[in-house]
Amino acid sequence: MGRNMFGPIRGDWADDPWKGWWGGTPPFHTPVFVLTHHPRPPITMEGGTIFHFVTDGIQTALERAAEAAKGQDVRLGGGVAITKECLRTQLIDEMHLAIAPVLLGSGEHLLSGIDLLKLGYQCNEHIATPSATHVVITKRT
């Protein structure tokens, strides 16, 4: 998870009591590895979520997440910057995009500057529903 998804705090954590957007029982129920440039001790929450703060890069965060997952899937939860970095370095095997017809303003553009075909990705599935279009992109093997 990217730091921006974890919360609105920027810079050093200082004595900030922020523990995420989700209240006392986050929906994850697993270890979560938050990428940041600023160290912070882990935070244990109700329901089995433990936020670990990783300061030495995406590769380390993914290795720690894979170890914690014990053979199960590792999910990326982050914003545009983390997702783009993982796509560029081909660390994503499968990506499910839910595209809703809602205009939110300028924001960040998820796929700008990314050539998915050149990186070896393909669209495997797309399903339109009244609320969203679901697109599944996978890395070609």
Q: pLDDT-derived band of residue 126, with 50, 70 and 90 as boundaries?
A: very high
Q: pLDDT-derived band of residue 8, with 50, 70 and 90 as boundaries?
A: confident
The count of structural domains within the chain is 2
Enclosing domain of residue 131: 79-141
The reported pLDDT for the residue numbered 50 is: 95
The reported pLDDT for the residue numbered 46 is: 93
The reported pLDDT for the residue numbered 9 is: 80
Q: In sequence order, what DSSP letters do the residues of 104-123 get, joined into one string?
A: --S---TTTT--TTTTTEEE
Percent of the chain with pLDDT over 90: 61
* CATH number of residue 69's parent domain: 3.40.430.10
138 and 89 in a common domain: yes
Cα gap 41→28, rounded to integer Å = 19
Q: What is the DSSP letter of 64?
A: H
46 and 106 in a common domain: no
Q: pLDDT-derived band of residue 7, with 50, 70 and 90 as boundaries?
A: confident
Each residue's pLDDT tens digit, 59-70: 999 999 999 999
| 3-class SS string, 1-39 | CEHHHHCCCCCCCCCCCCCCCCCCCCCCCCEEEEECCCC
32 and 21 in a common domain: yes
Mean pLDDT of 33-47: 93
- Entry pTM: 0.81
94 and 44 in a common domain: no
89 and 71 in a common domain: no
Query: Among the residues of 28-79, which ranges form H helices?
Result: 58-69
Residues 6/51, Cβ–Cβ less than 8 Å: yes
